[in-house]
Amino acid sequence: MTQSILAASSVNVGMSAPPASGWDIHCHTVFSDGTCTPRELADLAVRSGLHGVAIADHDTCVGWPFMMFEAERVGLPVLLGTEITSDMDGVSVHMLAFQYDPHDLVMESLFRRTRQARLDRARAMVRALSRDYPITWNLVVAQAHEGDATTIGRPHIADALVAAGVCTDRSEAFSGILSSSSPYYIPTPSPYAPDVVAAVHAAGGVSVIAHAGDRSRGSSLLSDEYFGVLVDAGLDGVEVWHRGNQADQRERLLGLARRWSLLVTGGSDWHGAGKPNLLGENLTGDETVAAIMERGVPFKELRIQPRALSPNR
């Protein structure tokens, strides 16, 4: 514990401004609601001059072997991560988890439950939507790029609404029919955020709370007090550099990071063509990535066999 506090304070020196170069450690692929493959992510990251990227699909690590393969192919450093859906007394908390043991049974069962809850919730939303709009569950499933391996979410419903000609793009769907204030909206029952932080820690990983100052997500923001509960559970870091965190929230989050010696990260929340966010628009500094690597499970201990996706993708 003492050691990690020392490591955190040393990497936070000079971290009150966003890094000018570094890593994008918040990227979604076809294994959740991104539109690009790990191969496309790796190629774009190299072209963009990023020092490295992290795959961070929702509630799954099924893309990790593919990301490792592509990283080796192009010589791009990567971190392996997941954005875990969680909840704290009705506040939606997205937890980025890096370099944890993907074979950990608690993590596996956590993902199994959330992914089932996401399916049930998406089906219920589609059932309600289909009374008023020409969409079906089959049309939603057809939007998942990797079949059952894809974590289903609202973006797939949005894509179905676009395919049916109801909306012009995902963003239009999200600002109306699919927004969290829409009558069709149903939240995903999610695990308790401090339990997720503890589970990630127990699996040897590093946890960072994503876009905690993003008011546009609809749910209320996590209070400082609840932040403290997450810190007590073992929270490692906070994503400050994210387009959803406005200036006042960045200041607040930096203050919390200083108070509790948390790592400060940044990421684009890239979804390929699914969102306007550009790869590398927000970054994490090299020394912060080094601290994450040092705290998490090293690659050679993850027991992952790098794999290529079939050649037509």
Stretch that binds Zn ion, among 27-35, 164-172, 276-284, 288-296 (CB under 5 A): 27-35
**Looking at beta carbons, which residue is closest to Fe ion?**
94
> What is the nearest approach in angstroms of Fe ion to the Cβ of residue 169?
18
Which amino acid, residue 102? P
The entry of Fe ion, ligand AMP, Zn ion, none that residue 51 binds, CB within 5 to 8 Å by partner kind: none
**According to the binding rule CB under 6 A, does residue 191 interact with ligand AMP?**
no
Which of positions 16-35 make contact with ligand AMP (CB under 6 A)? 33
Q: Identify which of 152, 173, 151, 149 has the alpha carbon closest to the alpha carbon of residue 163.
A: 173
Among 115, 145, 170, 201, binds ligand AMP (CB under 6 A): 170
Query: What are the residues facing 264 on neighbouring strands?
Result: 238
Which of positions 33-72 make contact with Zn ion (CB under 5 A)? 33
Q: Which two tokens stand for residue 33?
A: 């609601």
Residues in contact with 269: Cβ distance below 8 Å, sequence separation at least 6, in sequence order: 26, 27, 28, 210, 211, 242, 243, 244, 275, 277
**According to the binding rule CB under 5 A, does residue 94 interact with Fe ion?**
yes
Query: What are the residues facing 91 on neighbouring strands?
Result: 88
Which amino acid, residue 208? V
Among 266, 267, 274, 280, binds ligand AMP (CB under 6 A): 274
Which of positions 71-90 make contact with ligand AMP (CB under 6 A)? none
> What is the nearest approach in angstroms of Zn ion to the Cβ of residue 186?
17
User: Taking phi first (over 0 means left), then psi (-120 to 50 degrees means alpha), and beta for anything else, what does residue 165 get?
Assistant: left
> What is the nearest approach in angstroms of Fe ion to the Cβ of residue 92?
9
Is 16 or 130 the residue whose CB approaches ligand AMP more closely? 130
Is 37 or 114 the residue whose CB approaches ligand AMP more closely? 114
> What is the nearest approach in angstroms of ligand AMP to the Cβ of residue 221?
16
Please name the residue that has the structure tokens 């993590």: 107
Are the beta carbons of 267 and 25 closer than 8 angstroms? yes
Residues in contact with 266: Cβ distance below 8 Å, sequence separation at least 6, in sequence order: 18, 19, 22, 24, 25, 26, 239, 240, 241, 242, 282, 283, 284
How many whole angstroms separate alpha carbon 155 and alpha carbon 277? 14
Stretch that binds ligand AMP, among 9-17, 69-77, 152-160, 192-200 (CB under 6 A): 152-160
Is 194 or 261 the residue whose CB approaches Fe ion more closely? 194
**Looking at beta carbons, which residue is closest to ligand AMP?**
153
Among 64, 174, 227, 241, binds ligand AMP (CB under 6 A): 174
Look at residue 92 and give its three-state secondary structure.
Answer: strand
**According to the binding rule CB under 5 A, does residue 214 interact with Zn ion?**
no
Stretch that binds Zn ion, among 26-34, 44-52, 185-193, 247-255 (CB under 5 A): 26-34
Question: For residue 182, with 0-12 CB atoms within 10 Å meaning exposed, 13-18 middle and 19 or more buried, which class applies?
Answer: middle
Residue 246's Cβ-side half-sphere holds a number of Cα atoms within 13 Å equal to: 6
Instruction: Report how far apart the first and last C-alpha atoms of the chain are (Å, whole number).
Output: 44
Run of H or E including 265: strand 263-266
> What is the nearest approach in angstroms of Fe ion to the Cβ of residue 203?
20
Is 27 or 198 the residue whose CB approaches Zn ion more closely? 27
Stretch that binds ligand AMP, among 95-103, 243-251, 266-274, 292-300 (CB under 6 A): 266-274
Residues that bind ligand AMP (CB under 6 A): 33, 153-155, 170-171, 174, 269, 271, 274-275
Where along the sequence are the contacts to Fe ion (CB under 5 A)? 83, 94, 210, 269
